[in-house]
Each structure stands twice: as C-alpha cells, then as structure tokens.
Chains A and B, each alone.
Chain A
Amino acid sequence: DAGITQSPRHKVTETGTPVTLRCHQTENHRYMYWYRQDPGHGLRLIHYSYGVKDTDKGEVSDGYSVSRSKTEDFLLTLESATSSQTSVYFCAISDDRDNTEAFFGQGTRLTVV
C-alpha cells in the first residue's frame, strides 16, 4: 500500500470552530490533493499542491485553506466550520500531473454540529 495517512479519521466539531486535517505521505510524491465526497456529488477537488509552498484552488475552495511547508505534509484548514462542510475528506498523492499513479488516503469523516 502507498504510504499515505490521514488524521484524524473521524472528528465531530461545533459550528464556528477551526479544524485542521492532516495528510502525511512517505512516498516523496510531488502532487497532493484534497477532495470532499458527498452523496450525489462524487469527489470534488478542494485544493491541490504541486510542490512545497505551491498550492492552488480547486472546484470547491471557499471556506478552506491549505498549507504545504514540507513535501510529506499537506494540511487542510476550515477556518470556521459550517454544517455544509460535513463530509468525508480524502487526500490523494501523485508522482506526476497525469495522476496515473495517484493513491488515496483512507479518508476523514468530519461532522459539524
């Protein structure tokens, strides 16, 4: 299995609180991605990174920020969580931009109450 770990795996938080999800990889892959998965919508790209300190917005970036200070870690922050951000969050890594060797983490189930 590819070395990709998400933490925490489950979290319940209150509306208005900040939340940070962590994605850690041991593959030294250049590209890292954050997706959310909701029923009826499939996976939607939130933010992605193509190197240390190089990040860009995806399809549903409002309300989220990211940071990548090291190759192995990609952090997703919800500055002020809302109920609409209740979702399952997946991190993915890839060695090339073609995503032909992309691997997904096990996911983080976030509930905002």
Chain B
Amino acid sequence: GQNIDQPTEMTATEGAIVQINCTYQTSGFNGLFWYQQHAGEAPTFLSYNVLDGLEEKGRFSSFLSRSKGYSYLLLKELQMKDSASYLCAVLDNDYKLSFGAGTTVTVRA
C-alpha cells in the first residue's frame, strides 16, 4: 500500500513562516501535490512538483526530493486566512492520487 506521512498539527504566529514536511513510500511516482482545505470546504490545489527542487508561487513554496521520498510546503508571511488543513498527495504509477492524513495549521495573532 501507499504510505504518506505528515504531521497532524502545527501552530504558528501571524507573519511567521511554517514548513510542513511530507514523506512518502509509494508504488511509483508521477508527481506530488499540495492541497489546502478549509474546514467544511473542498480541497483546493496549491502546488505540483514532479522534478526535484523548489517551486515558488507567491507566499507558498514547495520542495521535492525524489531520492529521499520527501517534500515540504513552506508558507511565508502567515495570515489568519492560512489557518486550514494542508494535504500532501502522491500520484502513483497507475496515476491514482494517494493522500496523507493532512496537517492542520493554526495561525495565532
């Protein structure tokens, strides 16, 4: 089966930086995704990495190391609206997405 691990919860202060780590062991690899999900809402796409390295998109960046089975999502200049769950997902050899359990980030004033 697929194994995707990420921390359950993280707390940070408004304006700070938070890094959410994700490690994976899957049957093949065709890309890694990060989604944001506010309570009671649908997941929304944040980032996609298929090659090693850092992808930057505004305040959010995502990093991938395929040899280490590791990714992180970096959230900079945290805002209250960033309080949400962040889901790490891997696209396997069959092009099916497997998700981690999600990391709930709480931003405090």
Residues of A at under 8 Å CB distance from B?
33, 35, 40-45, 48, 58-59, 90, 97-100, 102-107
How far is B96's CA from A103's CA once the two chains are assembled, in angstroms?
15
In the complex with contacts A104-B42, A104-B44, A106-B41, A98-B91 CB distance below 8 A: yes
Chain A contacts for B99, CB-based, 8 A: 35, 42-44
**B87 beta carbon closer than 8 Å to chain A:** yes
A105 with B42: CB separation less than 8 A: yes
* Residue of chain A at shortest CB distance from B40: A107
B88-109 toward A: CB 8 Å interface, digit per residue (1/0)? 0101000111111110000000
Q: Do A99 and B91 contact each other (CB < 8 Å), given the known contacts A90-B43, A104-B42? A: yes
Given the known inter-chain contacts A98-B31, A104-B42, please indicate yes or no for A45 contacting B48, CB distance below 8 A.
no
B42–A42 contact, CB under 8 A?
A: no
Taking a contact as CB atoms under 8 Å apart, the answer to whether A98 and B30 are in contact is yes
A42 touches B97 (CB 8 A): no
CA distance A39 to B102 in the complex (A): 9
> Which single residue of chain B is at the shortest CB-CB distance from A40?
B101
Most buried by A among B31, B41, B99: B99
B102 near A42 with CB under 8 A, answer yes
